[in-house]
Amino acid sequence: MDETQIASLLKSSDIFPLPQSLKLSYGTAGFRGDASLLDSTVYRVGILSSLRSLKLRSQTIGLMITASHNRVSDNGIKVADPSGGMLSQEWEPFADQIANASSPQELVALIKEFIEREEISIGGGEEGEVWLGRDTRPSGESLLRAAEIGVSSVSGCVAVDKGVLTTPQLHWMVRAKNKGLNATEKDYFESLSTSFKCLIDLIPSSGNKISNKLVLDGANGVGGEKMEELLKGYLSNLDVEVRNTGRDGGVLNESVGADFVQKEKVVPLGFGVNDVGVRCASFDGDADRLVYFYVSSNGDKIELLDGDKILSLFALFIKEQLNTLEGKLSRLGVVQTAYANGASTDYLKGLGLDVVFAKTGVKHLHEKAAEFDVGIYFEANGHGTILFSESFVSLLVGKQKGMSEGSDEFNAVSRLVAVSNLINQAVGDAISGLLLVEVILQHMGWSVQKWNELYKDLPSRQVKVEVPDRTLVVTTSEETEALKPLGIQDAINGEIKKYKRGRAFIRPSGTEDVVRVYAEASTQEDADSLGDSVAQLVKSFLGSG
């Protein structure tokens, strides 16, 4: 790194001093916090994104400014790798270091050491490119400027402002760009609408007809806005009423959105007694989470269809298509976390599916799902997708060419190819997920109530226990059992045995000194009791915080 580059970094970093006492950690959601404190963080992640692009031979990197389901006064930033997936975990420690560097001099020293270790060439004719997106938060525009300055402070690197987008749109566009495909927002909409129409055309004519009507809670965020664009310009025959668009003065994520609906299990603002029995869905603030629900008879409670139910619907449909094909062509796998409701896991295993568990966090589920020819993953919060291996899609396309059009096998192959184009394989995407749910329900001839009957969730309880040192808890990689403190798992197992269909586990928080307890059993009373008794075990083994 030459003197000119060092001077450039020192000069630009002076504009964005690190706020006192700010301590950030790069997690699954990137960096997130009060928007007024994030200028320096976003600027520095701009630098990291440029270095990442240079390291990966000028491939395009994505940088999304969003705080997803957080309150409107928060914001955040996360990086999309060339695959459209999340930033490589190997770079997360460097992200933490530069975000927390206390002075411009320390920042530049860290960058210098890092580029030497990673053998990144700056200023030798190499070029880097970073695509920037932001959601609808008022703080997004000024943070975008900070990101642009960070990106362009690295010699040879350019920032390209892609405007207001959902997080999944930016991930999709980055993935498409690096695969050499057309990668505009228009291309995203066209890919979704073309594959959706293809799947609609392949619905058996003999099936039950169900209501097309869907009411969508847009969380007063970018997702509702983009859904309206899709409906207006590309899918005018889809009957979706979008509420909570933000135009009527509603506040982003305030008593609305997927996170609120999933956690509170009550109707979002703008929904009520007039919606009883109607199929409804909620996006979160940046539209990477999706849950469905319907309003029960009293008008304020809901029946929730969360990520586990969406995963089960997708798995059932994909399995049906694969079973139609001659010969065993693929390995279909389903990936869940320990937080998945036990009833969903039992249902999926009952279908004969390969169910595996991953550590909490979508980056871990994505990694596991990629090991299959077709891998489906979802967290209960509604974040998930389907991954198709390139070799399997190539196999399908090849088979399609030699088949007689209209045969059952041809239709099954055509559906699988269309699903691989409809679903956003880069990251969980509420818009593409919603379109796939809608077409599968039409295909099955199922109402939302019929879908909800696939299985009945076991009652569950989650408890947060403050402890002096959460690092004393060490779990297996799937987080289903505790390895340390010694003896605690045997004690937990002893409690579990007391309850019908009992299951419980503990895991340390990634961000605060608490241990999280999850418990489920055949009744809510038993789940509560099991959760409380396991929480007491945590306190007796670790002490109270």
Q: Which residues are annotated as a binding site for substrate?
A: 379-381, 507-511, 516
Instruction: Say how many C-beta atoms besides its own lie within 10 A of residue 212's C-beta.
Output: 13
User: Catalytic pick from 68, 191, 193, 330?
Assistant: 68
C-alpha triplet 356, 260, 264: angle, nearest 5°: 85
Find how far residue 72's CA is from the centre of its chain.
19
Residue type, 72: V
Residue type, 194: T
Q: What distance in Å separates the CA atoms of residue 92 and residue 48, rounded to the nearest whole number?
A: 10
As annotated, the binding site for Mg(2+) includes 68, 284, 286, 288
Residue type, 121: S
Name all contacts of 84-88 with Cβ < 8 Å and 24+ positions apart.
84/171, 84/172, 84/174, 84/175, 84/176, 84/178, 84/425, 84/426, 84/427, 85/171, 85/175, 85/363, 85/366, 85/426, 85/427, 86/28, 86/362, 86/363, 86/366, 86/427, 87/26, 87/30, 87/52
Q: What distance in Å separates the CA atoms of residue 98 and residue 76, rounded to the nearest whole number?
A: 16
As annotated, the binding site includes 68, 284, 286, 288, 379-381, 507-511, 516
36 is catalytic: no
Q: Are strands 128-134 and 157-164 parallel, antiparallel or unpaired?
A: parallel
Nearest to 422 by CA among 217, 225, 202: 202
Residue 225 tokens, joined = 């806005």
User: Are 37 and 139 in contact, with CB atoms under 8 Å apart?
Assistant: no
Residue 162 tokens, joined = 């892609």
User: Are 202 and 439 in contact, with CB atoms under 8 Å apart?
Assistant: no
Find how far residue 262's CA is from the centre of its chain.
14
Q: Which residue has the tokens 């008794």?
A: 533
Instruction: Say how many C-beta atoms besides its own lie within 10 A of residue 540's C-beta.
Output: 11
User: Are 305 and 451 in contact, with CB atoms under 8 Å apart?
Assistant: yes
In the structure, how many helices (H) and strands (E) does the chain have? 18, 19
Residue 325 tokens, joined = 């094909």
Nearest to 343 by CA among 314, 369, 370, 311: 311
Residues belonging to the chain: 545
Active site residues: 68
